[in-house]
C-alpha cells in the first residue's frame, strides 16, 4: 500500500476510534444565556456543583455566558453553529418556553433542540404589603370585581412576560378582562417589591422562593397565595394555594437544560441517565434547596413531553390574552 495512503487511513481510523469512544461528560460546558448573576447563571452553577459533588464528571464544568433575548441568542447559536456539541448543555427556564410561544426565538421553535432535564422549580405567588387591606386572594378578587381600575398590579417584566401572565390569570379568575387591568412594569422583582412596600402598587405577582428570601431579609410583605397544585414545603407551608381560594391557577417556573439537535442518541442517553442519577441524590436536593428551588425532576422523554406541552399551553394563553403568538410547526 502506498505509504501516504497508509498514513492517511491510519489517521482516519484513529480519529474514528477517538470519536467512537469520546465521552460527552469530558470537558463539559454549560451555557448561561445571560450575563453573570440571575437565574440562568444559577441554573448552570447548580449543574456544575451537582455533577462535581456527585463525581459524575472528572473535570469541573465550565460556565460560559451568551446573553440576549432571554435565551434567544444562545438558542440560535447552538442550533446553527454547534448542533452536535455533545459536551455542551444550555440552561433554560419557563421564561424561555414562554418566549418560544411568543415567537421571540426567530425561525426556531421547541422542536429544534433536544430537551435534556428539568432539575428544579419555583412557583408564582401573589404578594401584598404588610399593611394591605387584602387578607386573602378572595379579597383581591372582590376588589377587582368592584373596580378593576383601583387595583394596581406590578412586577418585573413587560406585557406578555411571565409576571404579567400571572397577573392576567389572577384578573381573569376574578372575571376581569386582563387587558383592562392596571399593570406597572419594573426592571426586576426587587424594584417591584420596593414599590409594593411604598404603596405605589397594590399586588405583586412574583415568585414564591424569591419572595420568601425577601421576607427573611426584612421586606414587609405578605404572601396571599402560591400558584401550585399543593402547598409548598418548609417556610411557606402556611401559605394557601390559589386553588384553595377558588382560582385554578398554577404557574411553575421550571429550570433545566437542553442540548443541540444533532447530539447523538448515545450521548443524549449518557447525559439523561447521569442527570437522573444526580437528581436522586440527597446531596443534590440540598444544593437545590440552598438555591431557593423546589424539587422538579424530569429527564429524557419526560422532560421533552413536558416542554412541548408547556409551550403549547403558553401559546393558548398568549392567544387568549390577545398577544402575538408563534404558530406551531
**Could you tell me the CATH number of the domain that includes residue 226?**
3.40.190.10
Q: In total, how many domains does the chain have? A: 2
Confidence category of residue 217, pLDDT binned at 50, 70, 90: confident
* Residue 205: domain span: 122-245
Confidence category of residue 70, pLDDT binned at 50, 70, 90: confident
> Are 156 and 231 within one domain?
yes
pLDDT at 139: 97
Give the chain's length. Answer: 329
pLDDT at 286: 96
Tell me whether residue 95 is in a domain. yes
Tell me whether residue 1 is in a domain. no
Taking residues 185-206, report their average pLDDT. Answer: 91
Q: Which residue in 296, 291, 222 sits closest to 252, CA to CA?
A: 296
Task: Answer yes or no: is pLDDT of 251 > 70.
Answer: yes
For residue 262, give the C-alpha cell.
444533532
pLDDT at 325: 60
Q: What is the CATH number of the domain that holds 300?
A: 3.40.190.150
Number of other CB atoms surrounding residue 26 within 10 Å: 11
Confidence category of residue 12, pLDDT binned at 50, 70, 90: very low
How does pLDDT run across 293-304, given as a tens digit for each residue?
A: 999 999 999 999
Tell me whether residue 54 is in a domain. yes
Question: In angstroms, what is the C-alpha Rg of the chain?
Answer: 22
> Are 111 and 172 within one domain?
no
Taking residues 48-70, report their average pLDDT. Answer: 93
Taking residues 244-265, report their average pLDDT. Answer: 96
Tell me whether residue 16 is in a domain. no
Confidence category of residue 38, pLDDT binned at 50, 70, 90: confident
Tell me whether residue 262 is in a domain. yes
> Are 191 and 174 within one domain?
yes
* Distance (Å, whole) CA 36 – CA 78: 19
pLDDT at 146: 95
Mean pLDDT, the chain, integer: 90
> Are 145 and 73 within one domain?
no
> Are 278 and 189 within one domain?
no
> Are 37 and 59 within one domain?
yes
Task: Answer yes or no: is pLDDT of 156 > 60.
Answer: yes
Of the residues 205, 222, 245, the one at which a domain ends: 245
> Are 135 and 208 within one domain?
yes
Confidence category of residue 187, pLDDT binned at 50, 70, 90: confident
Q: Which residues pair with 124 in a beta bridge?
A: 207
pLDDT at 292: 87
> Are 103 and 130 within one domain?
no
- CA 321-322-323 angle, to 5 degrees, is 95
Confidence category of residue 39, pLDDT binned at 50, 70, 90: confident
Q: Is 196 within 8 Å of 127 (Cβ atoms)?
A: yes
Q: Which residue in 141, 136, 122 sits closest to 238, CA to CA?
A: 136
Sheet strands (E) in the chain: 29-32, 62-65, 88-93, 114-129, 152-156, 182-186, 203-207, 221-226, 252-259, 298-299
pLDDT at 11: 42
Q: Is 261 within 8 Å of 110 (Cβ atoms)?
A: no
Share of the chain above pLDDT 70, in %: 92
> Are 132 and 158 within one domain?
yes
pLDDT at 13: 39
Residue bearing the bigger pLDDT, 132 or 15: 132
> Are 291 and 216 within one domain?
no
pLDDT at 214: 86
Residue located via cell numbers 428539568 = 118
Tell me whether residue 17 is in a domain. no
Tell me whether residue 200 is in a domain. yes
Number of other CB atoms surrounding residue 94 within 10 Å: 24
Confidence category of residue 278, pLDDT binned at 50, 70, 90: very high
Of the residues 220, 245, 270, the one at which a domain ends: 245
How does pLDDT run across 218-237, given as a tens digit for each residue?
A: 999 999 999 999 999 988 99
> Are 259 and 114 within one domain?
yes
Taking residues 19-36, report their average pLDDT. Answer: 85
pLDDT at 37: 82
Of the residues 193, 212, 245, the one at which a domain ends: 245
Tell me whether residue 271 is in a domain. yes
Task: Answer yes or no: is pLDDT of 7 > 80.
Answer: no
Amino acid at each position: 500500500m502506498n505509504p501516504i495512503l497508509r498514513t492517511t487511513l491510519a489517521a482516519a481510523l484513529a480519529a474514528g476510534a477517538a470519536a467512537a469512544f469520546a465521552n460527552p461528560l469530558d470537558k463539559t460546558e454549560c451555557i448561561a444565556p445571560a450575563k453573570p448573576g440571575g437565574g440562568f447563571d444559577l441554573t448552570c452553577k447548580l449543574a456544575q456543583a451537582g455533577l462535581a459533588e456527585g463525581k459524575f464528571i472528572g473535570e469541573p464544568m465550565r460556565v460560559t455566558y451568551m446573553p440576549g433575548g432571554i435565551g434567544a441568542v444562545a438558542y440560535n447559536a447552538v442550533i446553527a453553529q454547534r448542533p452536535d456539541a455533545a459536551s455542551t448543555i444550555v440552561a433554560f427556564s419557563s421564561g424561555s418556553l414562554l418566549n418560544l410561544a411568543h415567537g421571540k426565538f426567530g425561525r426556531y421553535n421547541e422542536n429544534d433542540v433536544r430537551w435534556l432535564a428539568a432539575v428544579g422549580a419555583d412557583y408564582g405567588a401573589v404578594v401584598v404589603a404588610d399593611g394591605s387591606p387584602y387578607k386573602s386572594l378572595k379579597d383581591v378578587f372582590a376588589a377587582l370585581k368592584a373596580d378593576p381600575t383601583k387595583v394596581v398590579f406590578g412586577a418585573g417584566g413587560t406585557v406578555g412576560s411571565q409576571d404579567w401572565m400571572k397577573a392576567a390569570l389572577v384578573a381573569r379568575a376574578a372575571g376581569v378582562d386582563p387587558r383592562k387591568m392596571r399593570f406597572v412594569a419594573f426592571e426586576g422583582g426587587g424594584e417591584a417589591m420596593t414599590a409594593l412596600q411604598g404603596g405605589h402598587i397594590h399586588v405583586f405577582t412574583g415568585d414564591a422562593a424569591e419572595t420568601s428570601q425577601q421576607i427573611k431579609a426584612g421586606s414587609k410583605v405578605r404572601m396571599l397565595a402560591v400558584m401550585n397544585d399543593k402547598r409548598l414545603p418548609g417556610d411557606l407551608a402556611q401559605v394557601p394555594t390559589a386553588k384553595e381560594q377558588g382560582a385554578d391557577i398554577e404557574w411553575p417556573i421550571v429550570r433545566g437544560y437542553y442540548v443541540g439537535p444533532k447530539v447523538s442518541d448515545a450521548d443524549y442517553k449518557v447525559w439523561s441517565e447521569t442527570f437522573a442519577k444526580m437528581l436522586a441524590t440527597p446531596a443534590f436536593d440540598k444544593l437545590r434547596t440552598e438555591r431557593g428551588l423546589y424539587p422538579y425532576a424530569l429527564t429524557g422523554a419526560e422532560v421533552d413531553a413536558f416542554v412541548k406541552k408547556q409551550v403549547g399551553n403558553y401559546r393558548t394563553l398568549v392567544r387568549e390574552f390577545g398577544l402575538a403568538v408563534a404558530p406551531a410547526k
